[in-house]
Amino acid sequence: MNENPIETVELELAILIRRVTSITKNKEFCSLDRSAYLLLHQIIVKGPAGVKALSDELHLDISTVSRQTASLEQKNYVYRIPDPLDKRAYFLQITGKGKEEFYKYKQARLDKISKILKNWSEEDRELFGRLLRKYNRSIFES
């Protein structure tokens, strides 16, 4: 029986999301959730950023990012830096504690993914990574 490729992608994405969610709820990971991980990643990669820039980059509502960054502030993972051009605005900068938690969580994720893909060839790993990146970029282009 020939499967419709779109149906295959849809089902496999649903399974992937479910399994990734169950993996990251495991106690071997630190106290970060997916949203905190992505926000901290963005700040580490791009530098201090305001809530609006983070919401634009992650394609989330400003209120969602505001709530998530408030939680990061309470945990002392980020702190506010005044915007020199607009005294009413601020940027979020990551703290040493935030970096430590981020890298601990990232390493746990990398270790888990390495175990899952241990029997894959390097070529298959590279192809899978390229296709995931292409898929993720296509989501907001459609």
Tell me the pLDDT tens digit for each residue of 23-39.
666 655 566 888 899 99
Q: What is the mean pLDDT of the chain?
A: 90
The percent of residues in the chain predicted with pLDDT above 70, rounded, is 92
Phi, psi of 78 (to 5 degrees): -140, 160
For the entire predicted model, the pTM comes to 0.84
Does some domain include residue 88? yes
Does some domain include residue 125? no
Mean pLDDT of 46-54: 94
Cβ neighbours for 92, distance < 8 A, ≥ 6 positions apart: 43, 48, 49, 50, 51, 54, 69, 72, 73, 78, 79, 80, 81
- Residue 37 is part of which domain span? 23-114
Does some domain include residue 36? yes
Does some domain include residue 5? no
